[in-house]
Amino acid sequence: MVTLESLGSADFKRRHGLRHAYVAGSMVRGISSVEMVINMARAGFLGYFGTGALHDDAIEEALLAIKAGVSDGQSWGMNLLNNATNPQAEMDTVNLFLRHNVTRVEASAYMQITPALVVYRAKGLRPRQGGGVDVENLLLAKLSRPEIATIFMEPAPEKIVKNLLDEDLISQLEAELLCQVPMADDICVEADSGGHTDMGVMATLLPTICRLRDELSNQHGYDMPICVGGAGGIGTPEAAATAYILGADFILTGSINQCTVESGTSDAVKDILQQINIQDTDYCPSGSLFELGAKTQVVKKGVFFPARAKKLYDLWKNHNSLDEIDPKTRIQIEEKYFKRSFEDVWDETFTYYKKAAPEEAEKAAANPKQKMAMIFRWYFVHTMRLAMDGTAGRKIDYQIHCGPALGAFNQWVKGTELDDWRNRRVAEIGLRLLEDTAELLNERFAALSSPAQVHSISA
């Protein structure tokens, strides 16, 4: 019989000190908030605070608040977002985590292993008496491709380890221990999800990466299990059951947690989110990966943001500079999208990048197409702020990352007390989802093994 406690991997629960193999994943700008992480920890779940787009002082304030709100033995973590344009900022965040003994990190949007990740991993390694390695700093990697899963399930790259050793950023012992463990303890396989997405299918992704895990674990002879979880599209018991049946050691939710009391986004956004159905999201260009053409999944119901984001990307793709854009289109963007001139946006953006990433600022100033991209990327940052703040009169420009899982969730709870987001609490949602998943699995297994069903199949 399937029970609430039997769902997921015992290794995963033991590793993190959890009652349930269920994780609330991070969402940028503190949407996965201090309150959300604390609520999850107190209920025996695991939650990660969303550090993306926040400065280190805000991140430090959040982690201190979480520490003050949880008890010993309750588990929580912080997100670490890849920062390809400013690796030092990523290292600064890791050093912040190390100073405050943050022992759980969720790594997001990584295409390769970085020195900052290796430093974090190295500083939590200890030789085990009698052989083996004890791991203190636990790393969960969110990803959607087998080749990225591979680099996280292998030991740290030798070249990075050598460079860190030469720079005295890790010790000789730490370098040796890094060779004996994978980069990540846990892999979260993201199928089609809110925010950045490769639009993958869980039924193909999850089993593939589970097999890859088994192969690499045998190849390297690890004495620790790598747990593989599923995410993307999980908003109902049927979806959660699918993930567990496919082999998930844990499940991770995101979109459904954005529409809860603890979510760090605005009430105006939550009012929109509780009304959406499964068809009310769309794919549009990503602001952070604008030039690469990467896709982000967002809410389309009641907003113009997806269409406007696509228009900006098409303009950038088909023009070499702002001067090539026809006057009518330029006026439309400045007056309707930006509500300020290109010059004003450039001045604000250049000033910011001059401090945060001076080399990128200078390159953009000298390259008209790159300058156009930087100005257009401003709109993506601006629309996220409008949504987070719930700015009145700008609803049509709200950028709200979300997948169809929330639409499915809304239909599942329709007519119950959870219809209104003001009654939705993240840990209670997790518990109800798992309880109904266990009940559903028992019903389906019983139906499949019933004499009538067996006779029907054999016939």
**What would the pLDDT profile of 314-346 be if each residue is shown by its tens digit?**
999 999 999 999 999 999 999 999 999 999 999
- Band (pLDDT 50/70/90 cuts) for residue 380 is very high
**What would the pLDDT profile of 217-263 be if each residue is shown by its tens digit?**
999 999 999 999 999 999 999 999 999 999 999 999 999 999 999 99
- Say how far apart CA 274 and CA 259 lie, in whole Å: 7
Provide the 8-state DSSP code for 402: -
Overall average pLDDT of the 172-193 stretch: 97
Q: What is the pTM of this model?
A: 0.94
Position 293 scores a pLDDT of: 87
- Band (pLDDT 50/70/90 cuts) for residue 179 is very high
Does the pLDDT at position 301 exceed 60?
yes
Q: Which of 143, 401, 406 is nearest to 287 (CA)?
A: 401
Position 205 scores a pLDDT of: 96
Q: Would strands 195-196 and 295-299 be described as parallel, antiparallel, or unpaired?
A: antiparallel
Q: Which of 45, 62, 40 is nearest to 53 (CA)?
A: 62
Domain chopping of the chain, boundaries: 10-265, 304-397
**What would the pLDDT profile of 131-150 be if each residue is shown by its tens digit?**
899 999 999 999 999 999 99
**What would the pLDDT profile of 42-88 be if each residue is shown by its tens digit?**
999 999 999 998 999 999 999 999 999 999 999 999 999 998 878 99
Question: Token digits for 127?
Answer: 């030789």
438 contacts: CB under 8 Å, gap ≥ 6: 2, 3, 4, 6, 7
Position 452 scores a pLDDT of: 62
DSSP state letters, 141-197: EEES-HHHHHHHHSPPPHHHHHHHHHTTSS-HHHHHHHTTS-S-SEEEEE-S-SEE-
* The domain over range 10-265 is classified in CATH as 3.40.50.300: no
Overall average pLDDT of the 270-277 stretch: 98
Does the pLDDT at position 194 exceed 90?
no
Does the pLDDT at position 307 exceed 60?
yes
